[in-house]
């Protein structure tokens, strides 16, 4: 049994029920569990390892609830395309993925996430050409020591069946269900503080059959794992669902059993008030991906309305080919700023009317600068993510919780002039890289470097694979 002591943090942000912020704070940890939290003077004086956090703000690790790690290989592609055009451009390139490409891209994406402050990430891998399997990314997460939810994604409708992807990118539905069961049985860690968990994740309403959606839900619930998919991301998807199923996307997935406290959906840009209320009533979660939604011109998800209704909302960086970044603190900033210009966070069925008599710039504003603040953005990035992933063992610095925490140095150029409110500085100012990251009680980032990772060699190999894929070699 080993112990770890973090002491003298300038500010320790607990995210506990009272939202305590402790000046000169610290943590005492035994193995991978927090034992004590408080002012440094009240903690044990020593431990097997001691971390001096002077000059740092320390908070729970950030949680990424939606991603496609393999897309680090194809950044900055289809730069001016909306979602469906973007997909049809990239699918033929992704059809060249190999097992090594999956592993290397996962390491690159997860490393970038870890350096942004992420300690738990999910990933939605739904394309398996050329012998690729989900364990090729799970192995990368285990090697890096990040907490990981692997969602076994799937596509079964290729171009020959009216789908978007080439037939080489889809799988037989019987095999999908069989391999989903194998993945759960082999990798899902049910115990508290489990490092690898599994969810089932048919890609979207337009890439699998209704039968696969239903059977995936039944399989997941038989094993007690969660469900995930893309939903209501664009108006094109809404039109597709209305034309093909005679229902809006939320009504369609609800008819298949895809609402509940074991379900979370990515994007949810095109929700109305009734659909938000349904998510709140059923406990369904949402992964908000602000940068991706802006990059693809999909729209602004009504996060203010969701939060006010009681919907569980976490953050997702989404794929690096529709975001081109893996910085979770940046997503918190984007989420905060977007809600301020989102017509007061209104759901898509609402309109905002500006009276003819409005005068002055303030009277003409359609936004609300108080729609989302820095503290709430960080809550979404931590507590919200834990709720969406169904975890009650992370995202809070309190006794009995997982020892997952991060530290940012405050004396940096990015924060100059903002130290009167260091928590706000994290979100309002230029998003920095993390200086310290402890995951499951182990130091994984020290002085801004990932422990034990030869990053330059990894980047070189990643770029070699990317070049070959883009050239069709």
Tens of pLDDT along the chain (473 residues) come to 899 999 999 999 999 999 999 999 999 999 999 999 999 999 999 999 999 999 999 999 999 999 999 999 999 999 999 999 999 999 999 999 999 999 999 999 999 999 999 999 999 999 999 999 999 999 999 999 999 999 999 999 998 998 888 888 999 999 999 999 999 999 999 999 999 999 999 999 889 999 999 999 999 999 999 999 999 999 999 999 999 999 999 999 999 999 999 999 999 999 999 999 999 999 999 999 999 999 999 999 999 999 999 999 999 999 989 999 999 999 999 999 999 998 654 554 443 344 444 334 444 567 899 999 999 999 999 999 999 999 999 999 999 999 999 999 999 999 999 999 999 999 999 999 999 999 999 999 999 999 999 999 999 999 999 999 999 98
CA distance 338 to 303: 9
> Nearest 5 degrees, angle CA 397-CA 400-CA 402?
60
Q: How many helices (H) and strands (E) does the chain have?
A: 16, 17
pLDDT at 165: 85
In this prediction the pTM is 0.95
Nearest to 313 by CA among 329, 333, 297, 335: 335
Q: Is 392 helix (H, G, I), strand (E, B) or coil?
A: coil
User: Hey, which residues does 6 pair with through a beta bridge?
Assistant: 27, 51
State both tokens at 292.
């991706």
CA distance 165 to 160: 9
CA distance 223 to 48: 39
CB 317 within 8 A of CB 67: yes
CA distance 154 to 17: 38
CB 40 within 8 A of CB 25: yes
Helix (H) or strand (E) holding 106: helix 99-116
CB 337 within 8 A of CB 369: no
CB 17 within 8 A of CB 399: no
User: Hey, which residues does 449 pair with through a beta bridge?
Assistant: 446
Pairing of strands 3-13, 49-52: parallel
Helix (H) or strand (E) holding 123: strand 118-125
Nearest to 290 by CA among 277, 276, 304: 304
For 352-376, how does the pLDDT look when each residue is reduced to its tens digit (9 = 90+)?
344 444 334 444 567 899 999 999 9
pLDDT at 163: 82
Q: Is 352 helix (H, G, I), strand (E, B) or coil?
A: coil
Domains of the chain listed by start with CATH number: 3-60+396-450 (2.30.40.10), 62-352+364-384 (3.20.20.140)
For 243-278, how does the pLDDT look when each residue is reduced to its tens digit (9 = 90+)?
999 999 999 999 999 999 999 999 999 999 999 999
Chain centroid offset of residue 30 CA: 28
CB 317 within 8 A of CB 326: yes
Nearest to 430 by CA among 291, 332, 359, 303: 332
User: Hey, which residues does 11 pair with through a beta bridge?
Assistant: 23, 57
pLDDT at 365: 60
């Amino acid at each position: 049994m080993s112990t770890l002591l973090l002491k003298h943090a300038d500010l320790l942000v607990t995210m506990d029920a009272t939202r305590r912020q402790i000046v000169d704070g610290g943590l005492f940890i035994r193995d991978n569990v927090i034992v004590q939290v408080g002012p440094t003077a009240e903690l044990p004086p020593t431990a097997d390892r001691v971390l001096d956090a002077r000059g740092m703000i320390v908070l729970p690790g950030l949680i990424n609830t939606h991603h496609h790690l393999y897309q680090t290989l194809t950044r900055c592609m289809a730069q001016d395309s909306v979602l469906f055009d973007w997909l049809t451009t990239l699918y033929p390139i992704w059809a060249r993925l190999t097992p090594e490409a999956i592993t290397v891209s996962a390491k690159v994406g997860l490393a970038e996430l870890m350096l942004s402050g992420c300690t738990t990430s999910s990933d939605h891998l739904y394309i398996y050409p050329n012998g690729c399997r989900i364990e090729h990314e799970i192995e990368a997460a285990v090697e890096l020591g990040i907490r990981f939810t692997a969602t076994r994604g799937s596509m079964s409708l290729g171009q020959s069946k009216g789908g978007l992807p080439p037939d080489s990118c889809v799988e037989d539905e019987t095999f999908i269900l069989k391999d989903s069961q194998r993945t759960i049985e082999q990798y899902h860690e049910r115990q508290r503080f489990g490092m690898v968990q599994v969810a089932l994740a048919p890609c979207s309403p337009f890439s699998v059959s209704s039968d696969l959606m239903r059977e995936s839900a039944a399989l997941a619930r038989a094993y007690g794992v969660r469900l995930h998919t893309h939903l209501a991301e664009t108006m094109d998807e809404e039109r597709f669902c209305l034309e093909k199923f005679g229902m809006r996307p939320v009504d369609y997935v609800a008819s298949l059993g895809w609402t509940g406290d074991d379900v979370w959906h990515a994007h949810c840009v095109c929700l109305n008030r009734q659909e938000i209320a349904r998510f709140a009533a059923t406990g369904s979660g949402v992964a908000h991906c602000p940068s991706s939604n802006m990059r693809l011109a999909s729209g602004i998800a009504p996060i203010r309305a969701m939060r006010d209704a009681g919907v569980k909302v976490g953050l997702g960086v989404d794929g690096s080919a529709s975001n081109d970044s893996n910085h979770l603190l940046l997503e918190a900033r984007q989420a905060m700023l977007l809600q301020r210009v989102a017509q007061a966070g209104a759901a898509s069925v609402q309109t905002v009317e500006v009276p003819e008599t409005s005068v002055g710039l303030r009277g003409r504003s359609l936004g609300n600068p108080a729609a989302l603040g820095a503290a709430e953005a960080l809550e979404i990035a931590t507590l919200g993510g834990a709720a969406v992933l169904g975890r009650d063992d992370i995202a809070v610095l309190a006794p009995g919780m997982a020892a997952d925490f991060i530290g940012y140095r405050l004396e940096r150029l990015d924060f100059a002039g903002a130290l009167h409110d260091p928590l706000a500085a994290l979100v309002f100012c230029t998003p920095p890289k993390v200086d310290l990251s402890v995951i499951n009680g182990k130091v994984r980032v020290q002085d801004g470097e990932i422990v034990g990772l030869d990053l330059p060699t990894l980047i070189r190999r990643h770029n070699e694979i990317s070049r070959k894929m883009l050239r069709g070699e």
